Amino acid sequence: MKKTILSLVALFSLTTGCKDDAEFLNIKSTNILLVDEVYSDPRLVLSAATDLYNRIPDLVEPANFGIMASFDEAFASGDYGRHQNREYSYDDWSLWDYGYIREINLFIERVNAATRLSAADKARFAAEGRFLRANAYFELVKRMGGVPLVTESLTYDYSGDASYLRKPRAKESEVYDFVISELEAIKSILPKTPNEKSRATYGLALASKVRAALYAGSIAKYGVNTPTVSLPNGEVGIPATKATAYFQTALTSAQELITSGQYSLYQKAPDLSTNFANIFLDKANNPEVIFVEDYKLQSGKIHSFALDNQPRAITEEGERGGRLNPSLNLVQSFEKLDNSFAPLAINKGTPNDYIYYDKPEDLFADRDPRLQGTVLVPGAIFKNRPIDIFAGLVLANGSILSGDQLGQLKPVNGVSVQVVGLSGPIEGYDGSAQGGFYMRKYNDPVTGSGQIGTQSEVWNVRYRYAEVLLNAAEAAFELGQSAVAAGYLKLVRDRAGLTKALTPGEVTFDRIVHERKVELAYENHLLWDMKRWRLAHVVWDGSNSDLTTQPGKATEPSTRVYSLWPYKVYNPGGANHNKWVFRKVLSGRVTQSHVFRLGNYYSRITDAIINNNPTIVRNPNQ
Amino acid sequence: MKISIIYLFLLLLVGLTGCELDNFEPPKSTFEGRLVYQGEPLLIQSANVAVANNSDFPVFLELWQKAYNNRSSIRIPIKQDGTFSSLLFDGDYKLIVPNGQGPFLWKRTAANTPDSLDIKIQGSKTMDIEVMPYYMLRNPKISNNARKITGTVSLEKVITDAANGKTVERVSLYVNKTQFVDAGNSLNKADLAGADIKDLANVTLTTGELPALVPSQGYVFARIGLKITGVEDMIYTPVQKITL
């Protein structure tokens, strides 16, 4: 009996045995999703799209604020090299990310080939892919000029010869045309959801199209001022005859977005400067913002703008803060409430012939309220605390007493007095307000945003409605419709708090340039605007010219950043005791004047790229 | 404990010895010379060179070594006195002046790319490179009169044909405390627009009174620069030390 049982057991174990080897090894992975698995579930497709959104190349953004000091908008309080370079490198601002383009192309192809997604999901994802691709090409053409247009994923056949994958550069106008036509094609597929700020929408497609058409139009129009910035086959440079059509496209699309009524200018806070600052801070039902890169605390996606730019007087993190100081060049560009331009009234001719102010902020009182929405001026309050900017004391005999530590106390006639502000400025003291100002735009006023462990979730605004209005105004102006332009400018300027409307006759090219300069400061527009107007080599011309006295003029050179240092009068018993005076200062750290060479208009395509694809031609003047 | 110390020593040993086989001979051949027109050097803007930023020079030449398939240029900056110098490996090179560089014309090929010059480097080499400037600045004279600097110069138009000739945008006299004196580095300057020049052979400029120099010094440096319409780089006269 026992034997029978044993043999039965033996038989049993033999018959079951191991599975087929191939089947045994074929276990479904628990941590890798295959392509067809991803493209069968809309939530997974969204995460693939999120990765592509996350990789949108932005040159200037709060998370990369250092470059804001590369031109003339800000002094880099610590990164002084930015003011000690004369030439911009031809390699600066370059971009050649065809890996990104390829992944977008793959994304579009896989969405289109997916069988288990609903038709509505497929359409929306494919349109989002096309937006991302158009946006990437827009970014490429802004920086490099015409680039090879690759609109499908390329695959190497391992034949040993990859030359069939080489594509020459398209014309600059062809890339702009591609961007414009793609955005036009997808705008009605994308949802009309103005509260969706992080994904492509109808509004974003239109806003982006307006910007692209305007850029192309102004390159066509102003390219005649720089005839050498062109290539014979049009890889760089757009014929002047195309300008009108581009401007018309820009105006028509802007009007389509405006009449759709989906967005409006942000008008919530009664204080105009606070209202302007809040455009960038208010994430709840913000009617103006169209497209952002969003950040979220405790999610890993945070940035250090507030940490590195908090006023030093109220820093939450030891020696951190104050790195970016708005320049006097920008500050004096904000016009007066009567629409006139003037340098700040700090003296009556000579530097020591001061004009006295009761409070430091009085100097800026009659200026465009956007000034104090963009910049923290001396005397301003941030996070409910004074930021305490003053460079020293002016004593009874006119001499200046200052210190070398923030908030330093020194005896004056036997009395211990604070001789320098808790935020400085002190020459060469990193993070002190060496420019005389601190940042308000993008600067997070939430308590804790200045701590390394918390940081900031202020979003990076890429498109907002005010820019669409300014684009519409510029396109209308270029088309000779000054009255239309004045109407759009009025919307933006009324919201800003300027009460006197510009007449159509007052709308000039200088006005357009000025309005963008002050409304869109630090918002990743300055460089691209100066490039498309072909003004960059005029304004950053390498001359060591003084700070301009005509801040409203577009062609005035501005090659070095100037500072404005406030001083407190210390003269107990004197008439001006405790009053404030100001001096214009050129920091000793600013040793060179910027020169934007003609070869900087389009960044360098490196030798490595040309080695891989000899059909690529070099950019002009390099 | 002992083991970890031994490991540390072993690591240190590896770090100290390194790999001998990987080491190349450094380049040893000096290639130097000047940019000249009929033997006279062409003087330009001083270079303000940032670290690791080699397209940062006002004027540069490019050398391309022929031996390799993957080509990448070696950029040689021109100093303000018109000289250049570079340490190279021996080999065959092609030298070009990239588009838009320098206040002079460089020969172009039929395909409208910069023509190249064959350079053979076998040991150190000194070579002047002949170029065709738009203008030459002749007989510069700079003098001081009561802290006002006056300069005179004669402009000789070298390229006169209609297709390539360029007009004068402006002539400038620059004054600085150091020998680096040009459009980007000046304490004081005087400009004369091209339209206001009556006689190219006799251009006179006078600066305003010099401000007090801090710290005080009894001399300044000055030179005259010429900006040609549509050409980025200026041509300068030699730097002169002027006693105040």
pLDDT of residue A23: 73
Interface of B with A (CB under 8 A): 48, 50, 53, 55-58, 69-73, 98-100, 112, 183-186, 230, 232
Contacts of B183 in chain A (CB under 8 A): 542-544
pLDDT of residue B244: 85
Q: How many A-B residue pairs are in contact by the CB < 8 A criterion?
A: 67
Contacts of B114 in chain A (CB under 8 A): none
Cross-chain Cβ contact B185/A90 below 8 Å: no
Measure the CA–CA gap between A390 and B106, rounded to whole angstroms: 55
Contacts of B50 in chain A (CB under 8 A): 81, 84-85, 89
Mean pLDDT of A484-505: 95
Q: How far is A72 from chain B (nearest CA, A)?
A: 16
Minimal-distance CA residue of chain B relative to A607: B72
Minimal-distance CA residue of chain A relative to B55: A89
Measure the CA–CA gap between A149 and A140, rounded to whole angstroms: 10
Measure the CA–CA gap between B230 and B168, rounded to whole angstroms: 9
Q: Is A539 helix (H, G, I), strand (E, B) or coil?
A: helix
Cross-chain Cβ contact B99/A622 below 8 Å: yes
Mean pLDDT of A186-197: 96
- Whether residues B98 and B147 share a domain: the answer is no
Minimal-distance CA residue of chain B relative to A594: B184
Residue A340: what residue type? S
Q: Over the stretch A404-435, which tens digit does the pLDDT of each residue have?
A: 999 999 999 899 999 999 998 999 999 999 99
The mean predicted confidence, pLDDT, of chain A is 93
Cross-chain Cβ contact B50/A608 below 8 Å: no
Q: Over the stretch B219-230, which tens digit does the pLDDT of each residue have?
A: 999 999 999 988
Measure the CA–CA gap between A505 and A481, rounded to whole angstroms: 10
Cross-chain Cβ contact A542/B73 below 8 Å: no
Tokens representing residue A512 in the block: 């357009």
Q: Which of A548-552, B51-55, B153-157, B205-209 has the lowest mean pLDDT?
A: B51-55
Q: Over the stretch B106-139, which tens digit does the pLDDT of each residue have?
A: 888 887 788 888 989 898 989 999 999 999 999 9
Residue A518: what residue type? V
Mean pLDDT of A165-188: 97
Cross-chain Cβ contact B55/A232 below 8 Å: no
Contacts of A227 in chain B (CB under 8 A): 230
Percent of chain A whose pLDDT exceeds 70: 96
Q: Phi and psi at residue A385, in whole multiples of 5°?
A: -130, 145
Contacts of A85 in chain B (CB under 8 A): 48, 50, 53, 56
Percent of chain A whose pLDDT exceeds 90: 88
Q: Over the stretch A45-72, which tens digit does the pLDDT of each residue have?
A: 999 999 999 999 999 999 999 999 999 9
> In this structure, is residue B169 part of a structural domain?
yes
Q: Which domains does chain A have, with CATH numbers?
A: 35-73+89-154+167-256 (1.25.40.390), 305-600 (1.25.40.390)
DSSP letters of A535-597? -HHHHSBS--PPPPS-TT-TT----S--EEEEEEEE-TTSTTTT-EEEEEE--TT-----B--
Enumerate residues 6+ apart whose C-beta is below 8 A from A412: A393, A395, A401, A419, A570
Contacts of B214 in chain A (CB under 8 A): none
Cross-chain Cβ contact A611/B70 below 8 Å: yes
- Whether residues B35 and B125 share a domain: the answer is yes
Cross-chain Cβ contact B48/A85 below 8 Å: yes
Residue A267: what residue type? Q
Contacts of B57 in chain A (CB under 8 A): 87
> In this structure, is residue B182 part of a structural domain?
yes
> In this structure, is residue B174 part of a structural domain?
yes
pLDDT of residue A489: 97
- Whether residues B121 and B145 share a domain: the answer is no
CATH number at residue B96: 2.60.40.1120
Task: Provide the 8-state DSSP code for B66.
Answer: T
CB A45 within 8 A of CB A117: yes
For residues B188 and A465, which has the higher predicted lDDT (pLDDT)? A465
> In this structure, is residue B194 part of a structural domain?
yes
**At residue A369, does pLDDT exceed 90?**
yes
- Whether residues B120 and B147 share a domain: the answer is no
- Whether residues B88 and B118 share a domain: the answer is yes
Minimal-distance CA residue of chain B relative to A592: B184
Cross-chain Cβ contact B53/A91 below 8 Å: yes
CATH number at residue B163: 2.60.40.2060
Minimal-distance CA residue of chain B relative to A595: B184
pLDDT of residue B215: 85
> In this structure, is residue B9 part of a structural domain?
no
Domain boundary among B104, B132, B160: B132
> In this structure, is residue B1 part of a structural domain?
no
CA distances from B168 to A306, A379, B42, B226, B238 (A): 50, 50, 17, 7, 19
- Whether residues B143 and B234 share a domain: the answer is yes
- Whether residues B63 and B153 share a domain: the answer is no
**Confidence category of residue B10, pLDDT binned at 50, 70, 90:** low
- Whether residues B70 and B114 share a domain: the answer is yes
Contacts of B211 in chain A (CB under 8 A): none
Selected residue of B44, B49, B51, B55 to mutate for chain A interface (largest A Cβ count, 10 A): B55
Q: Over the stretch A90-131, which tens digit does the pLDDT of each residue have?
A: 999 999 999 999 999 999 999 999 999 999 999 999 999 999
**Confidence category of residue A455, pLDDT binned at 50, 70, 90:** very high
Instruction: Give the range of the structural domain holding residue B174, as residue numbers without chain letter.
Output: 134-243
**At residue A527, does pLDDT exceed 70?**
yes
Tokens representing residue B183 in the block: 């459009």
Contacts of B72 in chain A (CB under 8 A): 606-608, 611
Selecting from A85, A607, A621 the residue whose C-beta is nearest the C-beta of B71 gives: A607
Radius of gyration over alpha carbons of chain A, in Å?
Answer: 29
Q: Phi and psi at residue B163, in whole multiples of 5°?
A: -70, -40
Task: Provide the 8-state DSSP code for A572.
Answer: T
Contacts of A83 in chain B (CB under 8 A): none
Q: Which of A277-291, A301-315, B10-24 has the lowest mean pLDDT?
A: B10-24
Give the number of domains in chain B: 2
- Whether residues B52 and B82 share a domain: the answer is yes
What DSSP element (H or E) covers B235? strand B235-236
ipTM over 0.90: no
pLDDT of residue B114: 85
Cross-chain Cβ contact A593/B184 below 8 Å: yes
Cross-chain Cβ contact A85/B53 below 8 Å: yes
Q: Is A425 helix (H, G, I), strand (E, B) or coil?
A: coil
Selecting from A86, A607, A622 the residue whose C-beta is nearest the C-beta of B100 gives: A622
pLDDT of residue B22: 63
Mean pLDDT of A274-292: 96
Minimal-distance CA residue of chain B relative to A91: B55
Whether residue A194 is preceded by a cis peptide bond, meaning omega within 30 degrees of 0, is: no
Tokens representing residue A575 in the block: 């008439």
**At residue A167, does pLDDT exceed 80?**
yes
pLDDT of residue A87: 86
Contacts of A86 in chain B (CB under 8 A): 48, 56, 184
Cross-chain Cβ contact B56/A87 below 8 Å: yes
Handedness of CA B67, B73, B74, B80 (dihedral sign): positive
Q: How far is B3 from chain A (nearest CA, A)?
A: 39
Cross-chain Cβ contact A599/B100 below 8 Å: yes
Domain boundary among B107, B132, B157: B132
Cross-chain Cβ contact A611/B71 below 8 Å: yes
Domain boundary among B116, B132, B148: B132
Cross-chain Cβ contact A621/B232 below 8 Å: yes
Cross-chain Cβ contact A228/B100 below 8 Å: yes
Of B119, B102, B128, nearest to B33 (Cα)?
Answer: B128
CB B119 within 8 A of CB B126: no
- Whether residues B51 and B106 share a domain: the answer is yes
Interface of A with B (CB under 8 A): 81, 84-87, 89-91, 227-228, 232, 542-544, 592-593, 595, 597-599, 604, 606-608, 611, 618, 620-622
Cross-chain Cβ contact A607/B72 below 8 Å: yes
Minimal-distance CA residue of chain B relative to A232: B112
Selecting from A85, A595, A598 the residue whose C-beta is nearest the C-beta of B50 gives: A85
How far from the centroid of its chain's Cα atoms is residue A529's Cα?
12
Q: Over the stretch B55-98, which tens digit does the pLDDT of each residue have?
A: 567 888 888 888 777 778 888 888 888 888 888 889 899 998 88
pLDDT of residue A16: 57
Q: Over the stretch A211-260, which tens digit does the pLDDT of each residue have?
A: 999 999 999 999 999 998 999 999 999 999 999 999 999 999 999 999 99
Cross-chain Cβ contact A621/B183 below 8 Å: no
Contacts of A594 in chain B (CB under 8 A): none
- Whether residues B70 and B168 share a domain: the answer is no
Cross-chain Cβ contact B184/A544 below 8 Å: yes
pLDDT of residue B45: 83
Tokens representing residue A29 in the block: 């992975």
Contacts of A538 in chain B (CB under 8 A): none
> In this structure, is residue B176 part of a structural domain?
yes
Measure the CA–CA gap between A167 and B8, rounded to whole angstroms: 53
The mean predicted confidence, pLDDT, of chain B is 85
- Whether residues B34 and B55 share a domain: the answer is yes
Q: Over the stretch A542-564, which tens digit does the pLDDT of each residue have?
A: 888 899 999 999 999 999 999 99
**Confidence category of residue A210, pLDDT binned at 50, 70, 90:** very high
**At residue A320, does pLDDT exceed 80?**
yes
